[in-house]
Amino acid sequence: MNARVRRFLPEIVVVLLFAGYGLGVALGPYGGLVEGGVTVASVTLVPAVRRSGGAWGTELRLLFVAGVVIGSVSVATGLGNNATDEPFTMWGYLSLLLHGRDPYTTAATITFTAPALGLPSLAGTGQFHYIYLPLLLFFQVPGTGATGYKAMCLGCWAGIVYLVRRDEVASLCLVSPMVALLAANGFTDLPVLLLMTLSLRGVRGSSAKAAEYATYAMKQFANLFWFALYAARRDGRGMAMVLGITLLLCAPFLLWHPTGIWCEALTFGLSPGCTSALSTSGHLTDLYLHWNYYLWILWVYALYEMELRKFVRNWRAGRGSLRDTQSQPSDRVSPPE
């Protein structure tokens, strides 16, 4: 490869990522699969930066500035924005709660209009039940509307990158301007991931545990992550703590309207007696068509790349040993007939 071209490999990768995002937008409702794929493809920034020959710290700063600019323009203009209604609905749910109404059982009527430059565009009126865990409601800036929520999420992205700035792989994966654009859309995952990163890479001791416990009451992917992490470590006490603390933090709502949070946030309408829950309108396709879901895959890889590589190596070695064992003739002697 030409040395001049190699020098600009990170920039070329970013351009290709955004070209992929444009393709995803053009595909309409099924574009989330493509948009998620190009978000996960941010991992290619690591080999691109290494092959470019530049210092990765310098490239990190350049990519961070690019992400801030792209994200800020997206928040201000709506360009490449409005892939989710969450920035428009979160204040409505909190408003219900502050007025003494349960957002899990009372539908919030939300009217939202996307900026003219929005890609894709969002506009309309809908009725929604809150489907996440209670503490996430309070991570917003009252009075700033959807624009303020998007700006807050972009700030959470910047905070995540700051926390992993000394880790080459993690920082280069998460500094991707594609991730900054996702954050600028105002997905509710960003405050959760910021606290999780703070717990794992930012603070220690009781402060780390406090940040971890807070995420148990925010978004369900966090609970799944912590439970899987403790399961991988064979830490039964940790697994029990995830379940127990989650239920404890949800207890006020379980006591208020038992079927509300249980149906909408804890079982997603799959439990008997929850057939009227609004969350039952979800489909299996939601699992792979939501752009933001792929951010969790990228985040896990970014923070646990070394452990995942070790796991794959051990798994391959184990398969190889199993094949060798099966291919060897048995030493057993058949019993006499």
DSSP for 128-141, written as a single string: E---S-GGGGGSS-
What per-residue confidence (pLDDT) applies to 168? 97
3-class SS at 110? strand
- Phi first, then psi, for residue 102 (nearest 5°) are -80, 115
What per-residue confidence (pLDDT) applies to 185? 95
What per-residue confidence (pLDDT) applies to 337? 41
Sequence spans of domains, the chain: 3-305
Residue (of 144, 176, 186) closest to 13 by Cα position: 176
CA distance 169 to 40: 13
pTM above 0.95, yes or no: no
Helices (H), 257-292: 258-261, 286-289
What per-residue confidence (pLDDT) applies to 2? 77
What per-residue confidence (pLDDT) applies to 29? 77
pLDDT by 10s per residue, the chain, length 337: 677 788 899 999 999 999 999 999 888 878 899 999 999 999 999 999 999 998 999 999 999 999 999 999 999 998 999 888 899 999 999 999 999 999 999 988 877 776 655 656 666 677 788 999 999 999 999 889 999 999 999 999 999 999 999 999 999 999 999 999 999 999 999 999 999 999 999 999 999 999 999 999 999 999 999 999 999 999 999 999 999 999 999 999 999 998 899 999 998 877 887 866 666 555 667 778 899 999 999 999 999 998 888 878 887 777 666 566 555 554 434 444 4
What per-residue confidence (pLDDT) applies to 142? 87
What per-residue confidence (pLDDT) applies to 333? 40
CA distance 159 to 152: 10
CA distances for 53 relative to 42, 49, 66, 193, angstroms: 18, 7, 19, 31
257 Cβ contact partners less than 8 Å away, ≥ 6 residues apart: 102, 104, 105
